[in-house]
Structure 1
Amino acid sequence: MTRQAWTMAAVLALAAGQAGAQGVIKIGEINSYKAMPAFLEPYKKGMELAVEQINAGGGIAGKKLELVIRDDNGNPGDAVRAADELYAREKIDVLTGSFLSHVGLALTDYAQQKKRFFLASEPLTDKMVWAQGNRYTYRLRGSTYMQVAMLVPEAAKLKKKRWAIVYPNYEYGQSAVATFKKLLKQAQPDVEFVGEQAPALGKIDAGSVVQALADAKPDAIFNVLFAADLGKFVREGNTRGLFKGREVVGLLTGEPEYLDPLKKEAPLGWIVTGYPWYAINTPEHQAFLKAYQAKYQEPPRLGTIVGYGAIQSLAAGLRKTGGSADPEKLIAAFKGLEVDIPFGRITYRPEDHQSTMGAYVGKTAYDAKLQHGVMVDFHYADGKDYQPSAAEVRQLRPAR
C-alpha cells in the first residue's frame, strides 16, 4: 500500500471512530468494588440492566449509553486520579458513582473544582448536599439524616431511657450518630446516651466492643455498623447475650447484602432500614424484579436498586437536555427532575440536590424457608417526608 493509501485509510478510520463516538454517551463510574463487593457487585449489575434497557429502547436522542468503570480502592486520592483518567483517556461525558462517604466527598470537591457534573449514587453523608454541597453535585440515595429520621420515631416509641451506640469511625458513622442524638433528644428529652463504641471501618474487635457496650448497661442500642463489621458484632453479641432483653435499632441492617450472610445468626426483632425484595408487590418493583431475575438468575440487593436508579436518573436528565452532557445543562435538568425507579417516583430537590429516594423500615426475623434473615412488619418511608425544609437547607448549605 502506498503512503497516500495509508494516509487515506488512517483518515477514514479516524472519521469512523469519531462518528462512532458521536453516537455514544460515555458514563464514567468510580466505586469501591474491591473494598465493598457485597454491595457493589449487585450495584454493577443494576447499572448494566438499566443501560441494556435504555439502549434497547433507542438510547438517548439516538445515542447509546456506555459504561466505563474504575475502582477507587476505597481511597479518596485514587478516586480523584481515576476521575482525571476517565476524562483524559476515556473521554467520558458524565461522572457517577462512589460508595464510601469520604470518597464521595473527594469526588464532590473534584466536581466543583473541575466544573463537571457528578451524580453521587450511594454515599450517605449529609455534608455532600449540605456543608460541602455544590452546584455540580447531585445525590441519589437517601442521606444519613433521612434514614436516621425514619428510624427515630420507632426508637422513641420504645420509651427506653439509656442508649448505647456503636458505629464505624468515619464520616458516615459520625454523621449518623450526631443526627440520631439530636433527633431522639428532640423526640424524647429525658433520653441518656451512656456508652459509645467507634471502631475503625473494617477493623472491629467485636469482643471488646460488645463487652464495653454490656458494661454500660443500656436499655437499648443504636447500631450503625454494616458489612463484615456487622456480622462480627452480631455473632459476638449473640454469644455474649448482649441483645437479650434489649431493643436494638439498626441503620442499614435490613439490607440483604448484610443480613443474608448471617443466616441463622440473624438478629431477631431489631428495628431496621433495608430492602425486603421478596415481599414488595408494587407494579414498578415487580416489573424490575422480573427483568433482573430473568437476566441474572439471582435476587436483587439494595445495591442493585441504587445502581439501576443512578443510570435511570442520568438517562432522565440527558433526555431533558436532548442528549447533551454539558454540565450546565445537566445541572438545570436535574433541578426538580422526576425519575421512576423500582421504589416508585423520586424527585431531585432544587434546594440541596438530594433525591427523595426512601427506604423500607421494619423488623428483622428469620425465614426458615429462605434460610436467612428477613424484614417483616415493614413499610416504605418516602424520603420526601424525612427531609429538612427549604428554609432549613438554606442555613445548612453554603451558597456556591
Structure 2
Amino acid sequence: YGTLARAAAARPVKVGVIGSLTGAVSVWGRVTRDGATLAVEQINAAGGILGRPVELIVEDDASAPDTGVRRARKLVLEDNVDVLIGVNHSGVLLSILEQLPSLNKVLIGTCATSAEATVQRFNKYIFRVHSNSDQEGMAGALYAAGFPYRRWSVIAPNYAYGYETWGSFISYLKQLRPDIQILDVQAWPAFGAPDFTSHITRLRAARPEAVVSAMWGGDAVNLIRQMRRFRFLDGIALFSPAALALDVLYALGEEVPENLHSNAHGYWFEAPQAGREQANRTFVEAYYARFGEYPHSTAHATYTAVWTFKKAAELAGTTDTDHLIAALEGLEVDFPGYKGYIRKEDHQVVHDQAWGRTVAAGELPFKRRIADLRWFKGEDITPSVEQVLRLRESGQQPEYYRYIIGA
C-alpha cells in the first residue's frame, strides 16, 4: 500500500486545455494557453496541487466542433487528464458538452459564452468561470438604456453566441425602454467571413441609430476596418461585448473609433472591482513580465479556472470527478479583477460586470482604453435560478428568439 500511495503522490495532476490556436480567432486560443501556463507555473512554484506537480497539456480545436470533440476525447482517454479547461467557440463547447457524461470529466469553460451550455443543454460536468451571453447582454442593456438611441439593429455571427447575445441584449433593453424600435433589417454573417460589405450596406440603408455587434476575434477586426472604410459609424453608435477584447485593440490601435461601447468581454486589465486592485495589479504585472503584453479577458478567465480547479481539488482532497463537482458547486471564485461564485443549480459563475466607452490613450500600445465605466451587480444581470430551471425543463428556446430576424 505504501508503494502505491507514493506512486500516486508522485504522479502529476494533468490539466487539459482546449483552445482555438489556429483560424480566425487564434489569438483567443493563444491567450487561453498563456493564462493556463502562468497559473500552472505559479502553482508548481508553490508546491503543486495536493502536493503533486501539475502538467499542462494543450490542444487546438481550430474552432471546429468535430475537432474539439476529438481533442477532448484524446485528452481524457489518452492523456488521462484530471480536468478539461478552456474552449473559445460556443459551437465547440456545445459539442464537447455532449461528450462529458461518457468521459466522466469536468470541463471548466473560460471563454465560449452560449447560455445554452448552462441552461437548456446543461449537465453536471460543465462549469463556467466566464460570463455567459445572457449576462453580457443584460449588462449591456442596462448600460445602453441610459442613451437616447431608439432605432436598433444587429450584426452578429450566425450561430448560438450571436443569437443569444443580441436576443438577451435587445429583449432586456425593450423591457427597460419600451419606446425603442427593433429594425427588421439585421445582419447575420457566417463565422470567419472575410467581407461584410453587403451587410454594412444593408444596415446603413435601414438608418439605425445604434447597432449591437457580437463579432469577435479576427471577425471584429475586419468588421471595424470595413465600417471605417464605409464611414458606417458616422452617426451610428456601436455596442459590442467582444469588440474591445485586447486582441482587437492590439490589431487595430488607433483604427478603433472613440465612443465605441463595450465590456471588453468581461474584463479590462486597468479596471478591477473595488477591493481587487492589488490582486489585479499582481496578476497584470506577472502576465506582462511573462508574455510581453497585457492580459486579455480570456487569459484572465483561464488563469482563474486553473486556480479554481486547485482550490476545489484541495477542498475535496482528490481530483476524483464526483468529489470535484461537489467542491465546485457554490464555490467562491477569486478572479484577479473581481470576486464571484459558482451557482449550484447551473454551474454558472456570477460576478459584477462593467461597460464603458473607448477614449484615446496614447501611452498604451493599442492607443485606446475604456473609460466612464459603469458597474452592474452580478445578481442584476443574471437570470434567476427559477427562470433557468423553467427554461431548462421546457426544452424550448428563450422568448427573445422572436427578435432574431433573417438569420
Same fold flag (TM > 0.5): yes
- The residue that corresponds to 1:277 in the other structure is 269
- Answer yes or no: is the 8 Å Cα contact 1:257–1:302 preserved in 2: no
Matched, 1:28 2:23: no
- The residue that corresponds to 1:8 in the other structure is none
- The residue that corresponds to 1:182 in the other structure is 171
Aligned CA distance change for structure 1 residues 347 and 139 (closer, same or farther; 3 Å): same
* DSSP-derived class of the 1:27 partner: strand
* Equivalent position to 1:48, from 26, 37, 62: 37
- The residue that corresponds to 1:245 in the other structure is 235
- The residue that corresponds to 1:346 in the other structure is 340
- Answer yes or no: is the 8 Å Cα contact 2:141–2:170 preserved in 1: no
- Answer yes or no: is the 8 Å Cα contact 1:271–1:361 preserved in 2: yes
- The residue that corresponds to 1:232 in the other structure is 222
Number of residue equivalences: 385
Q: C-alpha displacement at 1:335, in angstroms?
A: 0.9
* Equivalent position to 1:88, from 77, 87, 102: 77
Q: Give unmatched runs, 5+ long, in structure 2.
A: 396-407
Q: Give the letter for the 2:315 counterpart.
A: K
Task: State how far apart, in whole Å, the 1-side matches of 2:149 and 2:293 are.
Answer: 40
Q: Give unmatched runs, 5+ long, in structure 1.
A: 1-14
Moved over 4 A (4+): none
Matches within 5 A, 1:1-400: 19=7, 22-35=10-23, 36-194=25-183, 195-274=185-264, 275-278=267-270, 280=272, 282-322=277-317, 324-370=318-364, 371-398=366-393
Task: State how far apart, in whole Å, the 1-side matches of 2:96 and 2:116 are.
Answer: 12
- Answer yes or no: is the 8 Å Cα contact 1:168–1:225 preserved in 2: yes
Q: With the length of structure 2 as denominator, give the TM-score of the two structures.
A: 0.89
Q: C-alpha displacement at 1:372, in angstroms?
A: 2.4
* Cα deviation digits, residues 309-340 of structure 1 (max 9, x gap): 11011111111111x22111111111111121
Task: State how far apart, in whole Å, the 2-side matches of 1:374 and 1:197 are.
Answer: 28
* DSSP-derived class of the 1:229 partner: helix
Q: Percent identity?
A: 28
* DSSP-derived class of the 1:70 partner: strand
* Cα deviation digits, residues 16-53 of structure 1 (max 9, x gap): 9x927743111112221112222221221111111111
- Answer yes or no: is the 8 Å Cα contact 1:27–1:96 preserved in 2: yes
Q: Give the letter for the 2:68 counterpart.
A: A
- The residue that corresponds to 2:403 in the other structure is none
Task: State how far apart, in whole Å, the 2-side matches of 1:189 and 1:27 are.
Answer: 48
Q: C-alpha displacement at 1:302, in angstroms?
A: 1.6
Bigger-Rg structure (1/2): 1
Aligned CA distance change for structure 1 residues 279 and 144 (closer, same or farther; 3 Å): closer
Q: With the length of structure 1 as denominator, give the TM-score of the two structures.
A: 0.90
* Cα deviation digits, residues 322-360 of structure 1 (max 9, x gap): 1x2211111111111112121122211112100124443
Q: C-alpha displacement at 1:126, in angstroms?
A: 0.5
Q: Give the letter for the 1:101 counterpart.
A: S
* Cα deviation digits, residues 35-74 of structure 1 (max 9, x gap): 2222221221111111111111112221121111111121
* DSSP-derived class of the 1:252 partner: coil
Aligned CA distance change for structure 1 residues 341 and 399 (closer, same or farther; 3 Å): farther
Task: State how far apart, in whole Å, the 2-side matches of 1:184 and 1:204 are.
Answer: 30
* Cα deviation digits, residues 135-160 of structure 1 (max 9, x gap): 11111110011011111022122232
